[in-house]
Structure 1
């Protein structure tokens, strides 16, 4: 985890250490890391099973109908973070991080939230 925390500051200019530690204890937590041949981290992704009491689960549930809640948030995997070092962007690593993280996920649905103005996330 220490190596992952080095890249988070390069991607977001702040640390996600406390959040990552908290999330790593959630049910269904999984992560995927890509390393360069030199051993540096190219990128990482992680997520967990979405459950009542978690920030985004509750945020989304307050904005959707019961039918939408049942469709999307019951038995849901929440894709939480995706980070690719700036030097390695636009080379397919984001797609690889997504695909590998989700490989083997057994939940019925997967949700990802992002800021509405994050064009890179929307393009990916």
Structure 2
């Protein structure tokens, strides 16, 4: 597997959107504008994984979490004050992770998240995943993330907030 940068101007951006649709069910015409917007955030870091045939089989990206940012403010409003201070004061948001069905359970998700977090100059990282997604929750817990708060409701879906110390 080869890891390459992910940004709207990279050659594998469209394939990453197609993978995201296959994994998460969101159409590229919906996810694309959001991915492009996130790439403009401070501290943006994104990677794609290519298999030996050059196909995109994984992606991950995130950016700094900042006061005034939409997701930051939603998280801050949902977390008790002490948790918000601990996890959001100096945070990086791991926004998306997707791995193709045939590439799972071989360490690729770990490689992708590690590549995105490598060199991040923040004290913590946060992410959210569906509260009933036991596979994702087990993966995050096995790779150093801890559940911080639940439920965190997004568009009617109950989520779990995870955090990971980076320093």
Q: TM-score, normalised by structure 2?
A: 0.70
Partner-residue secondary structure (3-state), 1:68: helix
Measured after TM superposition, the shift of residue 114 of structure 1 is 1.0
The Cα of 1:54 is off from its aligned counterpart by: 2.5
Q: Gaps (5+ residues) in structure 1?
A: none
- In structure 2, runs of 5+ residues without a counterpart are 1-12, 140-167
Aligned: 1:19 with 2:34: yes
Determine which structure has greater relative contact order: mean sequence separation of CA pairs < 8 Å that are 6+ residues apart, divided by chain length.
Answer: 1
TM-score, structure 1 length as denominator? 0.92
SS in 1 for 2:105: coil
Output the CA distance in 2 between the equivalents of 1:106 and 1:75.
9
What is the 5 A alignment of 1:51-90? 51-90=66-105
Query: Could you say which structure has the higher strand fraction?
Result: 2
**1:34-45 matched pairs, under 5 angstroms:** 34-45=49-60
1:11-48 deviation line (CA, Å, top 9, x unaligned): 11223211101111111111011101110011010000
Distance (whole Å) between structure 1 residues aligned to residue 78 and residue 57 of structure 2: 35
Matched, 1:111 2:123: no
Cα deviation, 1:79-122, whole Å, max 9, x if unaligned, reads 11000011111111111111111111110110111110111210
- Cα deviation, residue 66, structure 1: 3.3
Aligned length: 124
Alignment root-mean-square deviation, CA: 1.3
Deviation sequence 1:48-79 (CA, Å, 0-9, x none): 00012323211111122433222211121001
Alpha-carbon separation, structure 1, partners of 2:68 and 2:101: 33
For the residues of structure 1 that align with 2:116 and 2:95, how far apart are their CA atoms?
11
Q: Post-superposition, which runs of at least 4 consecutive aligned residues in structure 1 deviate over 4 A?
A: none
